[in-house]
Structures are given as C-alpha cells and as structure tokens.
C-alpha cells in the first residue's frame, strides 16, 4: 500500500518538474505534457527494461500515465499567472528523486537481485527521468553538472535501503529511511551549495 502511494506521489512530483522545465523553454501545452510524461516514467522504464520486467510498468498499469498527464494539465493554467522562484524546479525534482530511488530499490529487491544491482537500478530509477527531462529541454542535466550532488544524493539513500532491507527490515522502514536520506542530502546541497570535491585536474595553458 505504502509503496503504491509513494509511486504515484513520485510520478506527480516528477511530472510537475517536467512542466516547470517546459515553462523555462516556453513550450506549448503538448510539449509540457510530453516532458511531464517522460520525466515521470523514464527512470522506471529503463529499470524495467534492464531487469527484464516487460511490459514496462506504465503499460501494465496506465494509471501512472493518467497521474502524469493529470498533474501536467492541473499545473499548465497557472504557469503564466504565478511568479515562481528562480529555482522552482528543485523541490519537486528533489521529491521525485527521493520517491523514485525508494521505489526503484524496492522493486529490484523483490526480484531477488544482489545488493549492488539494487543500488545501481534504484539510483537509475531516481535519476534517469530528470536526465531525460533536462536533455529534452536543452538544459545541462543536474547529474552532469560539475560537483552537483544529484546522483550522489541518491546513492546514500539506496545504500541505507539495502542495509536495512537485507538485514531483515520491513519495506516501509527501509523505504522511508531511503526517502529521508535522499531528500535531506539533496536539499542540504541546494540550501548550502554543497558540492562534490573537484577531481584535481586543471586545464592546460
């Protein structure tokens, strides 16, 4: 029950981030809906393909598409009327990242895969949708920005999940702990401009 609620919430938040990203590029409503959909299902689609869960989740359960489209249509009328903060994309994106890292880890764990596969596909579920959104909206993806704590915020949450789950913890406890860890790290990075350390390389000349 809880994982299902988390999945729909993650879908809604990532859809919202897609709509907000579309507004920065002045896309029409079709572009906004498309961006909302690919942001919300991109990571889970890639996870299902790599883990052999076919057909992918949104074909098995079209309600995810309905939530994504519904979220986009609810937000579209307000985009030109409400003044959003400059970094308006960050909160729904952080929430989507947190929910989908949890969901990805749980779904792969239930397949019986090893802990490292759970971590990798969990992080992929959390980050791939945002990557697709940013590429389609002609933005440098968060995950590729130098020093940005994006995938690096998802990884510790996934690790907390596997530690708790593989030690016999419940789905709910492990999932909520994962969610809190990812969200805390991501929002702390945004609030205090925390960055990954530089690799130390310097350009010539």
Residue 198 lies in a domain: no
Compute the distance between CA of residue 165 and CA of residue 149 in angstroms, rounded to an integer.
Answer: 24
Torsion of CA 145, 72, 106, 112, to 10 degrees: -90
- Alpha carbon of 169 to those of 15, 161, 164, 180, 200: distances in Å? 31, 9, 5, 16, 40
Q: pTM here?
A: 0.92
Residue 125 lies in a domain: yes
Compute the distance between CA of residue 147 and CA of residue 99 in angstroms, rounded to an integer.
Answer: 23
User: What pLDDT does residue 204 have?
Assistant: 44
Residue 200 lies in a domain: no
Residue 202 lies in a domain: no
Vertex 104 angle, CA 49 and 119, to 5°: 100
β-strand partners of 148: 195
Domain count, the chain: 1
User: What pLDDT does residue 26 have?
Assistant: 79
Residue of 137, 165, 150, 136 whose CA lies nearest to 100: 150
Residue 98 lies in a domain: yes
User: What pLDDT does residue 153 have?
Assistant: 95
Residue 131's Cβ-count burial label (10 Å; 0-12, 13-18, 19+) is buried
Residue 41 lies in a domain: yes
Torsion of CA 94, 96, 102, 105, to 10 degrees: -110
pLDDT tens series, the chain, 205 aa: 789 999 999 999 999 999 999 887 778 899 999 999 999 999 999 999 999 999 999 999 999 999 999 999 999 998 766 555 556 779 999 999 999 999 999 999 999 999 999 999 999 999 999 999 999 988 888 888 777 789 999 999 999 999 999 999 999 999 999 999 999 999 999 888 888 876 555 444 4
Q: Which residues of 83-96 are buried (b: 16+ CB within 10 A; e: fewer)?
A: eeeeebbbbbbbbb
User: What pLDDT does residue 86 have?
Assistant: 52
Task: State which residues form the domain around 92.
Answer: 2-80+87-192
Residue of 58, 67, 174 whose CA lies nearest to 122: 174
Residue 204 lies in a domain: no
Residue 157 lies in a domain: yes
User: What pLDDT does residue 199 have?
Assistant: 58
């Amino acid at each position: 029950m809880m994982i299902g609620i988390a999945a729909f919430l993650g879908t809604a938040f990532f859809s919202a981030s897609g709509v907000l990203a579309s507004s920065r590029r002045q896309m029409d409503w079709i572009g906004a809906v498309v961006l909302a959909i690919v942001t919300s299902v991109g990571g889970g689609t890639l996870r299902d393909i790599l883990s052999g869960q076919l057909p992918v989740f949104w074909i098995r359960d079209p309600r995810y598409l309905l939530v994504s489209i519904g979220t986009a249509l609810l937000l579209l009328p307000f985009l030109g009327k409400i003044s959003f903060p400059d970094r308006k994309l960050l909160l729904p994106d952080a929430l989507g990242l947190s929910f989908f890292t949890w969901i990805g880890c749980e779904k792969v764990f239930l397949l019986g895969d090893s802990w490292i596969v759970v971590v990798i596909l969990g992080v992929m579920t959390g980050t791939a949708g945002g990557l697709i959104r940013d590429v389609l909206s002609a933005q440098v993806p968060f995950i590729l920005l130098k020093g940005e704590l994006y995938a690096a915020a998802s990884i510790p949450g996934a690790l907390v999940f596997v530690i708790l789950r593989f030690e016999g913890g419940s789905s709910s406890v492990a999932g909520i702990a994962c969610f809190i860890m990812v969200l805390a790290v991501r929002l702390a990075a945004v609030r205090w401009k925390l960055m990954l350390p530089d690799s130390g390389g310097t350009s010539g000349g």
